[in-house]
Amino acid sequence: MTRNEAEKRISELRKAIAYHSELYYNNDAPEISDYEYDMMYKELLELEAQYPELDREASPTHRVGGTASDKFKKVRHPVKMGSLSDVFSFEEISAFVEKVKSALAEIGEKKVEFTVEPKIDGLSVGLTYENGAFSLGATRGGGEEGEDVTANLLTVKSIPKAIPDSLSITVRGEVYMPKSEFERLNLEKEEAGEKLWANPRNAAAGSLRQLDSAITAKRGLDIFVFNHQIGDLWADGRAPETHSETISRMGELGFHVIDLLAVTDDTEKILEAVRALGEARESLPNDIDGAVIKVNSLRQRELLGETTNTPKWAIAYKYPPEEKETKLLDITVQVGRTGVLTPTAELSPVRLAGTSVSRATLHNIDIIRQRDIRIGDTVVVRKAGDIIPEVVRSVSEKRDGTEVPFSFPECCPSCGGKLVFDAQGDDGEIREEGAIRCINAACPAQLERRITHFASKPTMAIDGMGPRTVKLLLEAGIISDVADIYSIKKEEVADLPGMGELSADNLLSAIERSKTRGAAKLLFALGVRHIGEAASEAIARSFGGILPMFDATEEDFLRVEDVGEIMAKTLCEFFALPETRALIERLADSGVALEEEKVEIETTLEGKTFVLTGTLTSFTRSEATERLKAKGAKVAGSVSKKTSFVVAGEAAGSKLDRANELGIPVLTEEQLKEILDN
């Protein structure tokens, strides 16, 4: 790889890592697996080591975790909450052990013990006690500053509200969601028609970051405390000598500590302990994503020291994504609410990542052909960050000749309607691997999923109207489209299997509340192709409601920020349909609100694109973004030649460097305030 190629690749990796870090740490909504993220991070570390002149202080490799959210009060940690260096092979573990032993031997330390413990897959927090009383709980955030989530942590039953001897200490732990709670929550979400949590880690992080602690209390969170950070653990000031002694003492004080702790000075036994933890992952009540190897002696840790972000006395071995073989019994085809047909593998049940898996996505016909997957095959499945596992490949050497190649149906399996090949995705992008789509608007499978989407939490938020209830209502002939929801009678619902009067009352109350959701939620609920939640909100606010959209042209829709030509064309076609007008009139007659507060946009900054970087002190980044948009400006997430201005706050990073490279004007926060105020 040449230096120019390395520079280009480093830039690509930094952008990708920053994007996925934001999703993982701050939004609790990952798009890729931990393993894929780790591999990108490792590649960036190696390239920066190979080309030190290309290393930058603003690189993701010099930061810890995410950032503290503006939703919560920010607090500074008494001791920096760093992260561990990751390794991915037993050879790297052995090299770490030998390096530590060699470094300590040079200063006369002949015996070195190590601990091996599970790496809990959760959210790292610090717990502070003053005179024995729990006084502060904070997320790790960026390592030096986190979010004050004390009220939410008080709902975690295994966190002691007071500890003996009136001690003043800070300890560190990992909040997690037990597998059983995760499965229970996702079952509830599925029934309510809500988006499922990706994995227990993100469920735990999202639950701990609730603004309403009553919601957190219902999520069944737990914690393992694994480190003592500051303060005396004994009232007489006695100090522990080893990490294992610290863990034992914290357990005596009432903290929930890890009991799967191995202590040894032998490299082979360390590897055996790591291997044993990996084999036990499935049987554990909580997710682990690795094993942590630490020097046991606290004195030896001080001798070894730390780098800027990571200690030299500990590493984390990350387990690869779990893959298992099972039998592919059949391939069925599901019809989505936009008519896309998705092939799904029906599997002989197999335990994978702590849950029983009997179905897995096959994405589309192209994937099936490329991977030569046949009905009856032995296949490899994995759960790499997604709720629905995927079929990775077939094990062709285990075929016995009875396997059958899969052919897509010639007509829709739900309605028998015509199927078409469509290379345009639901987001409007054109793809090489296209979708096969049913174009019958009256397709029953599409109808069921459209109504489920209409009632889901992000749209009209009709509690109790999940997929099961929608199916019952359709089968009973009570509803045939979304407008029928507002004509449902109590006695009709109460007579349905598994419902009753109480469920009927609750459902009707939720339907009544949904009438006030507003035009933005309604537009998203209508399921217009290519129009997502953010676009629906921007469009509804721009037009002030649904009715003006019937008279809008493509040019009118294009004036809304981030609405492209495909979206504008789709909206015009949708609102030109007589069925759409009839549906909206029926919803209006039922009392469903069609209005949205219209946001008047000034044009003083029209045509200007701003990029914000660093920390702003006078207002939050979201406030600055809203004020810029209110003056007609566009706010982008990355710097390009089209950028008009870059606003640089404190600790501005790579975006500032890029602006200087391109010669783009850089504004201070004070200059931004002048622009906004004038």
pLDDT of residue 523: 95
Q: How far is 481 from 579, CA to CA, in rounded Å?
A: 11
Q: How confident is the model at residue 551 (pLDDT cuts 50, 70, 90)?
A: very high
| Cβ(325)–Cβ(380) below 8 Å | yes
Closest-CA residue to 528 (of 427, 596, 442): 427
- Residue 289 banded pLDDT, cuts 50, 70, 90: confident
Cα–Cα distance for residue pair 314/115, rounded to 1 Å: 9
Please state the pTM of the whole predicted model.
0.57
Task: Tell whether the model's pLDDT for residue 27 goes beyond 60.
Answer: no
Higher local confidence (pLDDT), 425 or 255: 255
Coil, helix or strand for 598? Answer: coil
The fraction of the chain above a pLDDT of 70, given in percent, is 90
- Binning pLDDT at 50, 70 and 90, where does residue 431 land? very low
Residue type at 201 in one-letter notation: R
Q: What is the mean pLDDT of residues 18-39?
A: 65
Residue 292 has pLDDT above 90, yes or no: yes
Give the best-scoring range by mean pLDDT among 222-226, 378-382, 567-571, 643-647: 222-226
Is it the case that residue 28 has pLDDT exceeding 60? no
- What pLDDT is stored for residue 655 in this prediction? 81
Q: What is the DSSP string of 73-134?
A: -EEE-SS-----EEE-SHHHHHHHHHHHHHHHHTTT-----EEEEEEE-SEEEEEEEETTEE
Flag whether pLDDT at 212 surpasses 80: yes
> Average pLDDT for residues 303-315, to the nearest whole number?
89
Separate counts of helices (H) and strands (E) for the chain: 23, 24
> In the prediction, which pLDDT does 205 show?
86
Q: What is the mean pLDDT of residues 656-674?
A: 85
**C-alpha distances in Å from residue 65, one per residue of 14, 19, 143, 314:** 14, 13, 7, 17
Q: In this model, does residue 321 exceed pLDDT 80?
A: no
**Rounded distance between C-alpha atoms, residue 563 and residue 565, angstroms:** 7
d(CA 538, CA 598): 10
Q: Would you say residue 63 has pLDDT above 80?
A: no
Give the model's pLDDT for residue 515.
Answer: 95
CA distance 138 to 150: 7
126: nearest Cα among 72, 172, 65, 74: 172
What pLDDT is stored for residue 512 in this prediction?
95
Cβ contact 668:616 at 8 Å = no
Tokens 């009136």 correspond to what residue? 166
Q: What percent of the chain has pLDDT over 90?
A: 41
Mean pLDDT of the chain: 85
Q: Residue 317: pLDDT band by 50, 70, 90 thresholds?
A: very high
Mean pLDDT of 527-536: 84
Residues 455, 517 contacting (CB under 8 angstroms): no
What are the angstrom distances between the C-alpha of 355 and each of 20, 203, 218, 383?
Answer: 25, 15, 21, 10
Digit-coded pLDDT (tens) for 65-124: 554 445 678 899 888 888 888 898 999 999 999 999 999 999 999 899 999 999 998 899
What's the pLDDT tens digit per position in 266-282? 999 999 999 999 888 87
pLDDT at 477 over 60: yes
Query: Contact 174/120 with Cβ under 8 angstroms?
Result: yes
- Is the model's pLDDT at 29 over the cut of 60? no
Q: Could you give the CA distance from residue 248 to residue 241 in angstroms, rounded to a whole number?
A: 12
Q: What is the average per-residue pLDDT within 379-405?
A: 83
Catalytic residue among 42, 99, 101, 119: 119
pLDDT at 183 (0 to 100): 84
Give the span between the Cα atoms of 133 and 168, in whole angstroms: 8
Q: What is the mean pLDDT of residues 394-417?
A: 90
Run of H or E residues at 455? helix 444-455
Active site residue 119: yes
